[in-house]
Amino acid sequence: SANRPNRANKNNGPVNVTGKIRDREIATLFNPSRDRIKPYYEDGDSSMYTEDNIAKRQGLKHDPVVTESLKEFMTLYQKDSAGYVTENEFKRVTHKIGKILRPNTDNHQLRMLVDEDWKKDSKGMDRVDELTLYDALFELVDVWCPNIDPLEYKAFLDALKFRMRYDGQKNTTAYDVLN
């Protein structure tokens, strides 16, 4: 719920130095076996779409913790000489994100989803600027996080960034929750 106390420790961060996720709800998002009964991306929480909660979620777009986390995550994208992210680069990173968040999606379907994301997020342009990328990434985080909490958004981005950096490692215990 939106009134839930922050669970991440600001001093230690939501992901420790070994990449273990401290927030149990965020850890669940990155658990490859989470979709056994119903894929998480098919789940929904109608309470997140009340007028009040939509306003709260949009407010997080300008929260300093969320802003800093999004800008740090954006460094994973290689920009062209003019500071834009090209279609190929956007799709490269989005595909990696998709493989992490939707691990049971086959490559063909994932490519189709990435193409759809590009079409929607690029608004017909051949590359995207920093603001457009920021908006696209905020939407991603906002849709995947189960609560309205800036530290949860940060935890999600930190965990996703960690997983992207160590993509392909077979030892998934690095992603376990600390007790």
Q: Tell me the DSSP string of 43-55.
A: ---GGGGSHHHHH
Answer whether residue 175 shows pLDDT above 60.
no
Residue 37, classified by CB atoms within 10 Å of its CB into exposed (0-12), middle (13-18) or buried (19+), is: exposed
Q: Which long-range contacts (CB under 8 A, 24 or more apart) does 125-131 make?
A: 126/86, 126/87, 127/80, 127/84, 127/85, 127/86, 127/87, 128/84, 128/85, 128/90, 129/83, 129/84, 129/85, 130/74, 130/83
Structure tokens at 43: 């789940």
CB 73 within 8 A of CB 61: no
Q: Looking at residue 146, what is its pLDDT? A: 87
**pTM for the predicted model, two decimal places:** 0.77
Helix and strand numbers (H, E) in the chain are 7, 2
User: Which position has the higher pLDDT, 90 or 32?
Assistant: 90
Closest CA to 176 of 19, 1, 2, 20: 20
> What is the overall mean pLDDT for the chain?
81
- The label of the residue with tokens 């990449």 reads 19
Q: Looking at residue 113, what is its pLDDT? A: 96
Percent of the chain with pLDDT over 70: 71
CB 156 within 8 A of CB 144: yes
Answer whether residue 15 shows pLDDT above 70.
no
- The label of the residue with tokens 């992210």 reads 85
Give the best-scoring range by mean pLDDT among 11-20, 45-54, 65-74.
65-74
Q: Looking at residue 48, what is its pLDDT? A: 82
